A and B are shown apart, each in its own frame.
Chain A
């Protein structure tokens, strides 16, 4: 199995390895996730009803309320957090969100991660790179 390596910028340092969950749509936290269950609850979202706990969450950007980071911090405190984040376009919401979730996170990649990575791919995050092994 050949791996693709994407190069980017570290948002939160550290190494994480696991299965990708890819959202092609921005993620909303307040009114968009249930931190008690680690599930996307935005009704029209492509990942409606899907659990991100224990996955590397790959998404283009954060949208919606300024409570974004607080909701993801709650996933850490309740044990439902993702294990890493790959962020297409960074913003104050997603940067703070990754920091307070305290999981390795990367942005500014040399290819669109939401196109290159598919849900179920195996990812290794670390040293400003994402190693993608197709499932």
Chain B
């Protein structure tokens, strides 16, 4: 891999042992990818504070500097961690102290994370604590090279914002945060940003639920490649494409898609395929829509719903407001809990706007920082849950061993109020 003189100096220790260790990881990683060089980045979204058994042991025995070296730089060295070299944010992690008594989540984890937030805050990490940094002030520019983790955020940054990032990991984002460098490979290169698969939509898609199902279909069609979506789609908003991308990154491994006329990078289907003839289209019609719906609902057998989960990826203020409107004047079934996951900054807006109070009056909760999948935590005794998120319906049955129903926000709120699933594809 080609290195500039400045990069060679970093490798050789001119900026201290932590930066040298970060460069060493980037060199090993760049070689593994067969990358030609590194690119400069000034936007890192990674994870440092999320509790884990290995991290708890490292912090207890050797402190946070060592935990960062081992986990976030893949280094065996002993050194102090300098301040972040470039703007770096913490993605979603575990639950915080305000979840005590609501979420069955270990107090030791809450304490470890609080100590991590203090350490990393001192080192210049912005504790956004959300899977949707783009909702709370981290909006990379079109063409900007970034080093982001979190598959639903990566696909949003690449596709909706036109920024450039691969689906990075804990060690590569850690190394990027101390160097402002990442291998210039994959989605960073012009030649790799064209479409590879064509999805022709023949059933009108313009609801939040339908955008999620279309995303799940597109991920199944394109796998790790780049679907191009054309046909009868309405104008999506942020929440629709947040759901679409999370679903496409779940059923497949999509990191980049194009919707000509909507997403910024490829204005036409012709441009999206770089002037080459588009491949034969995968048709998304009523039968395919029903098949996706049935796949997302195939884990459910019991209609007795214990738990309703909204806000995956983390809810927008509009989604919290819609949930509040649906719950206004109602009361949850005594056997059912309802949680809405949101970025803490947006929960604050919901609190000020009175939405949280309406939701709490009905018996529901607005929670920040985490989600049941990240923290492996649902209300005690949960056997069956309902959600409006295709991603969560896919993952949570495997992670928590529970049954899932997937439907609209209104169907989920109805399930929370009646304790029964009455949803169906309309």
Contact = CB atoms under 8 A, between A and B. Distances in A.
B373 interface: yes
A31 B395 contact: yes
Contacts of A16: none
B170 interface: yes
Given A42-B398, A43-B398, A92 B166 contact: yes
A78 B57 CA distance: 11
A4 interface: no
Contacts of B74: 73, 99-100, 102
Contact of B167 (A9, A89, A93): A93
Contacts of B168: 66, 92, 96
A106 to B, nearest CB: 11
Nearest to B373: A31
A99 B74 CA distance: 9
B170 A61 contact: no
Contacts of A91: 167, 186, 224, 253
B92 to A, nearest CB: 11
- Main SS of chain B's interface residues? helix
Interface string A53-93: 00000000111111111100110011000000000011111
Interface stretch (B149-157, B266-274, B415-423): B149-157
B171 interface: yes
B32 A96 contact: yes
Given A64-B151, A67-B170, A96-B172, A73 B32 contact: no
A11 interface: yes
Nearest to A69: B169
Contacts of A69: 169-172
B46 to A, nearest CB: 9
Interface in B37-80: 47, 52-54, 70-71, 74
B238 interface: no
A95 B70 contact: no
B226 to A, nearest CB: 13
A95 B32 contact: yes
Contacts of B170: 67, 69-70, 73
A30 B160 CA distance: 25
B119 interface: no
Given A66-B169, A78-B54, A98 B154 contact: no
A74 B54 contact: yes
A20 to B, nearest CB: 21
Nearest to A26: B253
Nearest to B58: A77
B25 interface: yes
A12 interface: yes
Interface string A85-119: 00001111101111110100100000000000000
B151 A65 contact: yes
Contacts of A100: 74, 169, 171
A36 interface: yes
Contacts of B123: none
B97 interface: no
Q: Which of B33, B53, B168 has the most CB of A within 10 A?
A: B33
Contacts of B25: 99
Contacts of A9: 34
Contacts of A42: 398
B185 interface: yes
Nearest to B170: A70
Q: Which of B32, B74, B170, B252 has the most CB of A within 10 A?
A: B32
A96 to B, nearest CB: 5
Nearest to B150: A66
Interface string B220-233: 00001000000000
B290 interface: no
B1 to A, nearest CB: 13
Given A9-B34, A66-B167, A77 B151 contact: no
Nearest to B250: A64
B29 interface: yes
B169 A68 contact: yes
B33 A92 contact: yes
A98 B8 CA distance: 24
Contacts of B171: 69-70, 73, 96, 99-100
A31 B398 contact: yes
Given A63-B253, A74-B54, 15 more contacts: A63-B252, A64-B253, A66-B154, A66-B167, A66-B169, A67-B169, A67-B170, A70-B71, A92-B33, A92-B166, A93-B169, A93-B253, A96-B172, A99-B28, A100-B171
Q: Nearest 5 A-B pairs (CB), nearest first?
A: A69-B169, A95-B32, A92-B166, A70-B170, A66-B149
6 contacts: A63-B253, A66-B154, A90-B33, A96-B168, A99-B25, A99-B171
